[in-house]
Structure 1
Amino acid sequence: MGLVAVTAGLFALGAYLGRDLSYGWGFAAFIASFGLLIGLSFAARRSEQLAIGLLFGFGVLIGLGTAPTIAHYASTNPQSVWQAGGATALFIAGFGAAGYATRRDLSGVARACFWALLALIVFGIVTIFVRIPNGALIYSIAGLVIFAGFTAFDFQRLRRTQDIRAAPLLAASIFLDVLNVFLLLLSLFNRD
């Protein structure tokens, strides 16, 4: 969990430094962060230090990438950023504790969540071109349900994993759960 905390701190640093970035530069940082995430999956097998460095670089770059979005929400409805942060902490604590404590194998839940996430991505692309009443609300709530499952699964993996080399990848998974829940709640709290 220490790696997750440091990555979150570096995310906050990146978001602070990138608060004045244009959406174009934010998008470039967002794409670069996923390049680091792919590199992290390969580096985790070879070098723990390299994997941790890539994880921390990912935290900074994803912070830079999401900074324009967070800055927009902070300028239009600053209270929603704090509400989303608090609700994210409660959400992750609740579903993380449930996943950590359960003895039932949640790998089937993770598979279902993966396919549901792919369907949600397709739904998001469709809503760009087709107006669906309450599409953003449906997207946010479905995303929260999906990431509830991922959060429980990742915390169960945290309890069961003995391999220290898996720590950077597991930290990245938990951090992505936290980030996605935060962004979904931020969207939910800023509905028109």
Structure 2
Amino acid sequence: MYDTTTARRGYGISTNTLFARTMTFVAATAGLFALGAYIGRNLAHGAGIIAFIGAFVCLIAMRFTATRSQQATVALLGAFGLLMGLATAPTIVYYATADPRALWQAGGATALFIAALGSAGYATSRDLSGLARVCFWALLALLVFGVVAIFVRIPHSSLIYSVLGLVIFAGFTLFDFQRLRRSQNLASAPLLAASIFLDILNVFLFFLNIFGGRRD
């Protein structure tokens, strides 16, 4: 049983308070992501890669500021969302031009996916840390598969990549929402928000690839 009224490290918060704050951060990050995608709608792919690297740097920096400055961590989370929007803008523009319907289908599927898996992860009492480790190594293997598929023609490799990615991030979503219920440290909200936002973004991109009907 987890005490939801007395927290570790001197934080006296309820699970609902942490949930509300974390999901507020997720929504704000998503809003900045949308702003970045709009600003970067004419961005070249090279600039998008630079923005992605910048977002990755922000994500790493959050690990160091989380225990030192809440304000700095929140600012880095906002910068992360904005930069990810800039980095993803060329992909979104591609699909918006080729098949706008795929964007709405991917968005709807993502909402249902996250709602279902997030609810299951939040409700389960089974420890999912082992699942998270499996998903981490599976993600590395998937990245290797993606690199190999660039140089070696594999039938339906794009679809296989996306379906496997959805399976992996189903596991991450379950784990991250369980962490959201189990954590009793209000300062962890920005890091939890970053993890959940990444789950949502990756699921959206995988669905976008599926509904966009790309051919190998």
| Residue identity in the other structure for 2:61 | G
Matched, 1:72 2:94: yes
Aligned partners of 2:82, 2:204: CA distance in 1, in Å?
16
Give CA deviations for 1:86-117 in whole Å, capped at 9, x if unaligned: 10000000000000011101111101100100
Matched, 1:85 2:104: no
Matched, 1:131 2:153: yes
Q: Tell me, which stretches of 5 or more residues in structure 2 are unaligned? A: 1-22
Q: Tell me, which stretches of 5 or more residues in structure 1 are unaligned? A: none
Aligned partners of 1:87, 1:169: CA distance in 2, in Å?
25
Matched, 1:181 2:203: yes
Give how far 1:162 is off: 0.5
2:175 corresponds to which of 148, 153, 157: 153
Aligned partners of 2:92, 2:182: CA distance in 1, in Å?
34
| Correspondence for 1:113 | 135
| Correspondence for 2:12 | none
1:23 corresponds to which of 42, 45, 49: 45
Give how far 1:27 is off: 1.0
| Residue identity in the other structure for 2:156 | N
Matched, 1:40 2:62: yes
The runs of at least 4 consecutive aligned structure 1 residues that moved more than 6 Å come to: none
Aligned partners of 2:147, 2:63: CA distance in 1, in Å?
27
| Residue identity in the other structure for 1:158 | L
| Residue identity in the other structure for 1:88 | T
Aligned partners of 1:82, 1:19: CA distance in 2, in Å?
18
| Residue identity in the other structure for 2:132 | A
TM-score by length of 1: 0.99
What SS does structure 2 have at the residue aligned with 1:30?
helix
2:72 corresponds to which of 50, 55, 62: 50
| Residue identity in the other structure for 1:7 | T
| Residue identity in the other structure for 2:110 | T
| Correspondence for 1:94 | 116
Aligned partners of 1:42, 1:131: CA distance in 2, in Å?
41
What SS does structure 1 have at the residue aligned with 2:41?
coil
Give CA deviations for 1:55-80 in whole Å, capped at 9, x if unaligned: 00000000000001100010000000
RMSD (CA atoms) = 0.6
Q: For this pair of structures, how many residues does the alignment match?
A: 192
Aligned partners of 2:49, 2:173: CA distance in 1, in Å?
26
